[in-house]
Structure 1
Amino acid sequence: MSFFQIRVYKNGDERDPGKLITITRREFKHWILFLDALTRKLGTITAINKLFTTGGIRVEHVSCKEYILFDIA
Structure 2
Amino acid sequence: MKLSARNQLRGRIVEIEKGATTSHVRIEIAGGQVVTASITNRAVAELGLAVGQEAYAVVKASDVMVGVD
Taking structure 2 as the reference length, the TM-score comes to 0.31
Larger radius of gyration: 2
Taking structure 1 as the reference length, the TM-score comes to 0.30
Higher strand content, 1 or 2: 2
